[in-house]
């Protein structure tokens, strides 16, 4: 090696020059020098020296001239290489993931050979991956101490695109029926190596097989249509080293910090230790592959913070694995933090990352979980998930749909189990995350999925103290024998629900009623429609169905109008207000309230009015659109006074009183968004009543 070429590098110290001069010009392979090893190993050298030696070592000696063979890629292979290098991958940084995966496969193959009966033994058991970056010369080198390649294997595996050596290796393993451990081999398609050409002007591979007396080989290509392979006469370490001479626009991949972040993103959990410039970077364990009982709480916290990017702790932890019908490993976390309005409303990605054999495929696997579960964090790993050629996208939509359903059902079942294990803790969690569950029911088209999610819902109940929420399953368990439906009542508060005339009418039957206070809850329950073969019905709709015919008034009841009087009043109301009221009915189930408005699907009517904005200055149009029933209570004082006034021919006062009763019933039913709209009629009625004073 010439001294003057070394001097040109200002970063080389003068003391280092004296060390270099003490060695012979021939440079053989060493582990961290890409392809050569020095006859006398250097114990401590600076990084600039190692960079220089890694990039400027002379390629041959005067003693021996290796034989170089040139091969042409086939025409089809050239076209495919162009596609792989230019179009297959969506992100250039993927090439580091692919080359590390290949290196890890080489290490695993060596392990299998060592464990196999009759397999050839190798001199050492070191299985490591080294990355060396040189931002001066714009190179990155990925080296493993794995199984290596013979000349034929190098030609077959590197000279033929889409021929997966790993896949062939697995097939050979499967022929050995005593060997069932093939799950750590990552490669499938035989194109990962060629991703290096996305970022490289040329790629250089130095390899030596584990087999005894096999020489080393150098394979080089610029990806344009040919490659060269030469036999190395110098001593080469077992394994494979790939050096990428980066293009100018890809020089970022020769920077240590950039490469470190990429390795941690994609390959942090591969089995082998990974070193970048001799510093190990993958220190986290793949917890999802370990026994759940052996993992400590602080380890879960550290791992949760890594996968979620948050700084809180997991509220719930679910570790799940199955082997049939698909191999699947999952580690799911429910965050401790309370989501804000932006977390709920924004169209963010699912927080679960997809791995295959501990290598990151998708950081946000939106296809594996429904959108409503975007609040969960964690990892899903499967050897069987169908990937496209670049191992970035999922294929086989039917299988993905099954996995999605499997995972969501397991999460739902887990949360159900937690709700029974610690009711108070679950109720606190429910208050924080209930909007996600409700979104899931509204967005999901499949009734079975809707009912699965509905198992997580909790409601205030007429039989419980306020705040002591119950599930739909608990409601069904305590239904009275003759009850066929699940009843609910929507209102602004529990107090208004308990004092509602609709609740008053249904309470006489002894039915439990669920109270919902948010306007979207009513839409939610209409979307759900039924649960466990029980229809969900609002008490208003039940009363509309229950009073298709007039109730019979008991003869001799002094507190009530007679049947004839009530019928006469019905006819008068219908005559005077037929443009607003479709029908008038007698309802003896009412007690404290004079009248109510009923209609089919009251909740849907309320939602229609809010979304169509018919309220403002168009009150008359509401009556035209709606098919309203007006139920009167023949025992109530106001109804009896109305009958008396209309019989006395005081038509104006009777009309004003009846109009006010209808308006009041509309307000009670929630069909008047702004109750100030009825104040004008109320004031006129008061003026009329107080005329004599």
Q: Binding site: residue ranges?
A: 98, 102, 144, 149, 157, 164-165, 188-193, 240, 391
CA dist 139 and 142 (Å) reads 10
What does R_g of the chain's alpha carbons equal in angstroms? 39
Question: How many Å apart are CA 651 and CA 640, to the nearest integer?
Answer: 15
* Sequence-distant (≥ 6) Cβ neighbours of residue 148 within 8 angstroms: 106, 207, 208, 209, 210, 214, 238, 239, 240
Element (H, E) at 653: helix 651-668
Alpha carbon distance 536, 174 (integer Å): 54
| Residue appearing with tokens 């979980």 | 369
**What does the longest C-alpha to C-alpha distance in the chain come to?**
131
Cα dist from 7 to 33, 55, 225, 597, 613, whole Å: 20, 15, 37, 97, 83
Asked if residues 527 and 442 have their Cβ atoms less than 8 Å apart, the reply is yes
Q: At what angle do helices 47-56 and 14-21 cross, to 10 degrees?
A: 50
Question: Hey, is 115 helix, strand or coil?
Answer: helix
Count of helices and strands (H, E) across the chain: 24, 22
Which residues is 351 bridged to in the sheet? 377
Residue 369 CA: distances (Å) to CA of 199, 431, 463: 34, 22, 36
Distant-in-sequence, close-in-space partners of 95: CB < 8 Å, separation ≥ 6: 89, 195, 196, 198, 199, 244, 253
658-663: long-range pairs with CB below 8 Å, 24+? 658/573, 658/576, 658/577, 659/577, 660/685, 661/594, 661/595, 662/577, 662/580, 662/581, 662/595, 662/597, 662/630
The alpha carbon of residue 175 and the mean position of all alpha carbons in its chain are separated, in whole angstroms, by 38
Residue ranges for the known binding site for ATP are 98, 102, 144, 149, 157, 164-165, 188-193, 240, 391
For 400, residues 6+ apart whose C-beta sits below 8 A from its C-beta are: 367, 368, 385, 386, 394
Q: Is 217 helix (H, G, I), strand (E, B) or coil?
A: strand
């Amino acid at each position: 090696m010439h001294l003057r070429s070394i001097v040109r590098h200002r970063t080389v110290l003068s003391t280092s020059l004296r060390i270099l001069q003490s060695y012979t010009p021939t440079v053989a392979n060493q582990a961290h020098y890409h392809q050569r090893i020095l006859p006398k190993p250097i114990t401590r050298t600076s990084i600039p020296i190692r960079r220089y030696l890694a990039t400027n070592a002379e390629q041959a000696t005067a003693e021996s001239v290796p034989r170089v063979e040139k091969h042409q890629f086939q025409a089809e292979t050239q076209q495919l290489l162009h596609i792989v290098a230019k179009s297959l991958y969506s992100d250039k940084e993927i090439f580091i993931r692919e080359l590390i995966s290949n290196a890890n496969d080489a290490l695993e193959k060596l392990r299998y050979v060592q464990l196999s009966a009759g397999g050839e033994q190798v001199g050492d058991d070191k299985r490591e991956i080294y990355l060396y970056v040189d931002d001066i010369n714009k190179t990155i080198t990925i080296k493993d101490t794995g199984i290596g390649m013979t000349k034929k294997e190098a030609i077959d595996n590197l000279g033929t695109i889409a021929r997966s050596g790993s896949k062939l290796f697995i097939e050979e393993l499967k022929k050995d029926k005593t060997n069932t451990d093939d799950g750590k081999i990552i490669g499938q398609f035989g194109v990962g190596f060629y991703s290096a050409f996305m970022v490289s002007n040329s790629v250089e591979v130095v390899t030596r097989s584990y087999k005894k007396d096999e020489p080393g080989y150098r394979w080089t290509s610029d990806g344009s249509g040919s490659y060269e392979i030469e036999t190395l006469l110098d001593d080469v370490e077992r394994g494979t080293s790939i050096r990428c001479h980066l293009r100018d626009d890809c020089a970022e991949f020769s920077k240590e910090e950039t490469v470190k972040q990429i390795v941690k993103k994609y390959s942090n959990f591969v089995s082998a230790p990974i070193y970048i410039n001799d510093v190990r970077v993958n220190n986290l364990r793949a917890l999802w592959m370990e026994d759940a009982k052996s993992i400590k709480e602080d380890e879960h916290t550290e791992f949760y913070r890594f996968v979620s990017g948050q700084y809180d702790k997991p509220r719930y932890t679910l570790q799940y694995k199955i082997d049939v019908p698909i191999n699947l490993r999952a580690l799911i976390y429910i965050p401790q933090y309370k989501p804000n309005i932006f977390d709920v409303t924004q169209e963010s990605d699912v927080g679960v990352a997809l791995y295959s054999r501990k290598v990151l495929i998708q950081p946000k696997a939106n296809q594996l979980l429904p959108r409503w579960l975007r609040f969960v964090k964690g990892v899903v790993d499967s050897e069987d998930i169908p990937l496209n050629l670049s191992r970035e996208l999922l294929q086989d939509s039917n299988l993905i749909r099954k996995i999605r359903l499997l995972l969501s059902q397991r999460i739902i079942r887990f949360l159900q189990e937690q709700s029974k294990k610690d009711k108070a803790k679950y109720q606190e969690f429910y208050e924080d995350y209930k909007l996600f569950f409700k979104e899931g029911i509204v967005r999901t088209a499949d009734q079975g999925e809707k009912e699965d999610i509905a198992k997580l819902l909790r409601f205030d109940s007429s039989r419980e103290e306020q705040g002591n929420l119950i599930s739909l399953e608990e409601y069904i368990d305590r239904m009275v024998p003759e009850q066929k439906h699940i009843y609910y009542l929507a209102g602004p508060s529990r107090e208004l629900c308990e004092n509602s005339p609709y609740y008053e009418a249904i309470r006489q039957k002894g039915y439990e009623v669920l109270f919902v206070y948010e306007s979207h809850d009513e839409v939610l329950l209409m979307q759900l429609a039924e649960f466990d073969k029980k229809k969900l019905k609002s008490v208003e709709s039940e009363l509309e169905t229950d009073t298709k015919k007039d109730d019979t008034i008991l003869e001799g009841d002094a507190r009530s109008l007679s049947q004839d009087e009530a019928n006469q009043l019905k006819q008068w109301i219908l005559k005077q207000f037929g443009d607003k009221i479709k029908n008038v009915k007698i309802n003896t189930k009412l007690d404290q309230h004079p009248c109510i408005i009923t209609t089919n699907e009251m909740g849907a009517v309320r939602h229609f009015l809010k979304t169509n904005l018919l309220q403002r200055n168009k009150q008359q149009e509401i009556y035209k659109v709606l098919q309203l029933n007006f139920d009167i209570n023949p025992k109530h004082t106001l109804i009896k006074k109305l009958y008396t006034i209309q019989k006395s021919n005081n038509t104006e006062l009777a009309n004003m009183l009846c109009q006010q009763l209808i308006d009041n019933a509309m307000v009670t039913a929630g069909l008047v968004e702004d109750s100030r709209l009825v104040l004008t009629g109320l004031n006129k009625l008061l003026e009329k009543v107080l005329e004599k004073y």
